[in-house]
Amino acid sequence: MPAVIRWIRSDLRARWAQCTATAAVVAGVVTALLLSATLLASATNPWPGLFAQTRGAQIWLRLAAGTSVAGLRSRVDGVMAVAGPYRVAPATMVLAGVKAPVQVRAMPLAQPQVGRVLMEQGRWLDRPAPDGVVLEASLAQAVHAAPGSRLVLEGLDGSEVPARVIGVAATSDQGYYPDVQPGLMWVQRALLRRVEPVAGHTEEMLGLRLASSAQTGFVVQQVVTQLGSRAVLSVSTWQDVQRSMARQYPLLGLLLAVFGLVALGAAVLAIATAVGGRVLAQLQDLAMLKTLGFTPAQVTGMLVVEHAALALAGIGVGIGAARLLTMPLLHGLPGLPAAVTPLPAGWAGAIAGGTLLGVAAAAALPSWRAGRVRPVAVVRYAPPRGRLSWLARAAMAARLPAPIVLGAHAAFLRRMPALLTVAALAVPMIMMTVGLGFWSTLDDVQNHPADIGLAASVTVSPGAASPQQARRLIAADPQVARAYPGVRATALVPGETSTITTLGMGTSARPYPFHVVAGRLYRAPGEAVASQGLLDALHVQVGEFVRMAVGGVPVIFHIVGRIIEPEYGGQVLAYGMDTLSEAGAAAPPVFYSLVLRPGVTPEAARARLLRASGGRLDVETVANPADQLGVVRLMMAGLLVVLAMTGLTCVFTASLVGARDQARDVRVLRAMGLTPAQVRACLVTRTGLLALVAVGIGAAAGLAVSSRLINLGAQAYGIGAGIGRPPSAAALATAVILAVALAGLVALVPSPQAASSALTADPALA
């Protein structure tokens, strides 16, 4: 055992650069896997943790004022506890000129046992601050509010009530703002009465905590039956909240997980290639060990233990890097910092153990082959044999220089190592191409928001102005190209178990320009388009009919198309406003979606409309989800670096093996007059050809699957297929050129040593 340890220590010192590269690849893979697991388990789905910490309610009911809920817990099976009822009122929050619709909820000074909040900043409501409000975390982040911020609450009658933010809290009651509107604000009862003094204009919120979440649909049906459909204005279930929270960054988490797993697979191939190459390069050393009395099991175990030690070092560095990077990276994702929790030890252990097993498995077969090396190899070296490859024959036919011909011949002299090298390089290139496609998709969404249903960049509500004044001001604005009237209406889905947001956008004769990826736009009353998430939730397809209750009035919709809609939890039904009027449903207040002229920024259009209306209009810019994902590019860059390191490690190993395999030929050619520069050209040609083949295969395969993978991921999360874009030709060409150039530069590293030792005496030439 001491001899084994001494040999491992000596080998690590002698080949420190290659060992460091192997450990760095493992560290990068572990970091990527841990970050992706953290994002998937916590950041993309914070609801379970929030629900447990706040002892939340699975069902929240918005009831008409004065609805009697006495004895509801005893009358409905499955209800364990009740939160509220809490009086609520709609209002508009004005902070630093930014307006946001909010639901003002009156709460007691002591937090309730069910439906608590998790304080992130500041404090909860108290008597010394009667004008104090607590904002939901995503709302506070959207309007850039913090404890101490001053704001104004505008009631329905236009009255203005000053207030002060004293706290920011997370809740499991509803999803993130602005995906879910209105935003949520907790106040004292006296402050709510100042905002809305008319009791008949208020509503009530009631939370139900169930014995089992599986009973949600059954309990909702019982409650609607007990209270009446006119008393229940809307229903929000834990599935709606979880879906909204999980829908924020699912593709990012999925992308990180896929990249991490593929990087692990590429690392396994790279390590298998590295160990195999080191066995070939150390053939005589290993044979000497066999001559000195090492058994095959000792040689095999020695190599496996050495690479397991490198893997453990890489795993340790990866775990430390992941812990350091989790909060800084995920802090850039809006609404997530409070929900990010350390990855469970079991998950981290599984990732570390799986990586260690993968590395050990990659080293096992080449190490077993090393254990079978015959002692005679110490005195007799048998170079690989094989026919001239078609590349070498083509090079000879083209009368290329001798170093090029020799390099082309040596590229595929050892078929299995060559195939492993090509595979280990092609896999990272495939994922790098997919990553460039994801990057291109982000650019397209950011630069062309109409492709995801955001054709309008500004929305306008009458506010303190009359609807007629709002229409005149919008029509007179030269920056507005088109204006589409719209309404938001809540509808009970079939079965009356939950509610969704429906949009009346434009009219059937002049519909809003949704981006339709399947079917067509609505052209007649009763026709509608739906998002993929809604189609999945209702288990319907384009062309089918669905019946919903809008404002208590049943409406039958014919779904004629599928759209991409990132807002409202990805569950949206859109139609012409005349559909509601023909069905006899009351139309909610109208707002206007404005499509601006080319070159006009949303901020400039908003400022002009506010000036023209004297601040009476409520003007909001439409947030593009891609604008909030700048951190994605940083993460993508890190993953691309990990993949590049994996590929370059393979190139370095292939260069070492090539230098050894060509040593005998190079000595002969040096004796015939080859210069050291020609020797280096020969070695670089061999490795460069392998890299060129691998990069070409990887780029072609990645280009073929890039858009499909992105669309599959978008469809799996309800966004819907149709957003995927292939990488741009310039980006892909740059990536290919850089990959081949870097491979050539790495191949130059061992070539000077091979060239300088080319005239060393060879027994065969002596």
Could you tell me which residue, 105 or 450, shows the higher pLDDT? 105
Distance in angstroms (rounded) separating the CA atoms of residues 515 and 534? 16
Segment 672-682 shows an average pLDDT of 71
pLDDT digits (tens, 9 = 90+) for 530-560: 888 788 878 888 999 998 888 778 888 999 9
pLDDT digits (tens, 9 = 90+) for 712-724: 766 655 566 667 7
pLDDT at 497: 56
Peptide bond into 85 cis (omega under 30): yes
Segment 650-666 shows an average pLDDT of 64
- How far is residue 312 CA from its own chain's centroid? 28
Residue with tokens 């206007």: 592
Q: Among residues of the chain, what percentage have pLDDT more than 70?
A: 72
Distance in angstroms (rounded) separating the CA atoms of residues 599 and 481? 11
Distance in angstroms (rounded) separating the CA atoms of residues 556 and 263? 50
pLDDT at 522: 92
Confidence of residue 105 (pLDDT cuts 50, 70, 90): very high
Confidence of residue 44 (pLDDT cuts 50, 70, 90): low
Burial class (CB in 10 A: 0-12, 13-18, 19+), 599: exposed
Residue with tokens 């001559």: 291
Could you tell me which residue, 458 or 758, shows the higher pLDDT? 458
Q: How many CB atoms lie within 10 A of CB 201?
A: 13
Ramachandran assignment for 470, one of left (phi > 0), alpha (psi -120 to 50 degrees), beta (any other): alpha
Classify residue 569 by its DSSP letter: G
Lowest mean pLDDT among 236-250, 505-519, 521-535, 676-690: 236-250
* Terminal-to-terminal C-alpha distance of the chain: 39
Question: Between 2-14 and 16-38, two packed helices, what is the crossing angle to 10 degrees?
Answer: 90
pLDDT at 759: 44
pLDDT at 379: 46
pLDDT at 186: 92
Segment 66-77 shows an average pLDDT of 78
Segment 749-754 shows an average pLDDT of 56
Residue among 32, 99, 207 nearest 642 (CA): 32
pLDDT at 501: 77
User: Residue type for 481, please?
Assistant: A
Which residues touch 730 (CB under 8 Å, ≥6 apart)?
none
3-state secondary structure string across 177-221: CCCCCCEEEEECHHHHHHHCCCHHHCEEEEEEEECCHHHHHHHHH
Residue 41 clears pLDDT 80, i.e. is over it: no
Confidence of residue 260 (pLDDT cuts 50, 70, 90): low
Segment 663-672 shows an average pLDDT of 64
Residue among 92, 87, 89 nearest 158 (CA): 92
Could you tell me which residue, 385 or 172, shows the higher pLDDT? 172
Residues found in the chain:
766
What sign has the CA pseudo-torsion 283, 288, 290, 294?
negative
Residue 671 clears pLDDT 80, i.e. is over it: no
pLDDT at 254: 58
In the three-class reduction of DSSP (H, G, I as helix; E, B as strand; rest coil), residue 165 is classed as strand
Mean pLDDT value across the chain: 76
Segment 141-161 shows an average pLDDT of 82
Residue 488 clears pLDDT 90, i.e. is over it: no
Question: Could you tell me which residues are beta bridge partners of residue 485?
Answer: 592
Lowest mean pLDDT among 56-60, 302-306, 468-472: 302-306
pLDDT at 410: 67
Distance in angstroms (rounded) separating the CA atoms of residues 387 and 380? 22
Q: How far is CA 352 from CA 25, 266, 729, in A?
A: 14, 16, 38
Segment 407-431 shows an average pLDDT of 75
Residue among 207, 362, 188 nearest 275 (CA): 362
Q: Which helix (H) or strand (E) holds 50?
A: helix 47-54
Peptide bond into 401 cis (omega under 30): no
pLDDT at 666: 62
pLDDT at 217: 81
Burial per residue of 396-423, b for 16 or more beta-carbon CB atoms within 10 angstroms, e otherwise: eeeeeebbbbbbbbbbbbbeebbebbbb
**If you average pLDDT over each of 168-177, 266-275, 523-532, 712-721, which comes out highest?**
523-532
- How far is residue 502 CA from its own chain's centroid? 27
pLDDT at 187: 92
Pairing of the two strands 527-531 and 572-575: antiparallel
Q: Among residues of the chain, what percentage have pLDDT more than 90?
A: 4
Segment 583-592 shows an average pLDDT of 79
In the three-class reduction of DSSP (H, G, I as helix; E, B as strand; rest coil), residue 87 is classed as strand
Could you tell me which residue, 11 or 430, shows the higher pLDDT? 430
pLDDT at 329: 62
Residue 337 clears pLDDT 60, i.e. is over it: no
Q: Are 29 and 647 in contact (CB under 8 A)?
A: no
Pairing of the two strands 160-170 and 118-122: antiparallel
Residue 494, φ and ψ in degrees, nearest 5: -55, 135
pLDDT digits (tens, 9 = 90+) for 201-257: 888 888 888 888 777 888 888 888 777 777 888 888 887 787 777 655 555 555 666
User: Residue type for 432, please?
Assistant: M
Residue 152, φ and ψ in degrees, nearest 5: -130, 135
Q: Which helix (H) or strand (E) holds 463?
A: none
Contacts by 155-161, CB closer than 8 A, 24 or more apart: 155/89, 155/91, 155/195, 155/196, 156/89, 156/90, 156/91, 156/196, 156/201, 157/198, 158/464, 159/195, 160/94, 161/191, 161/194, 161/195
Instruction: Kindly give the residue spans of alpha helices, DSSP state H, lying in 62-157.
Output: 72-75, 137-142
Q: Are 428 and 702 in contact (CB under 8 A)?
A: no
Residue 371 clears pLDDT 90, i.e. is over it: no
pLDDT digits (tens, 9 = 90+) for 121-149: 888 988 888 889 999 988 887 777 888 88
pTM of this structure: 0.59
Residue 691 clears pLDDT 60, i.e. is over it: yes
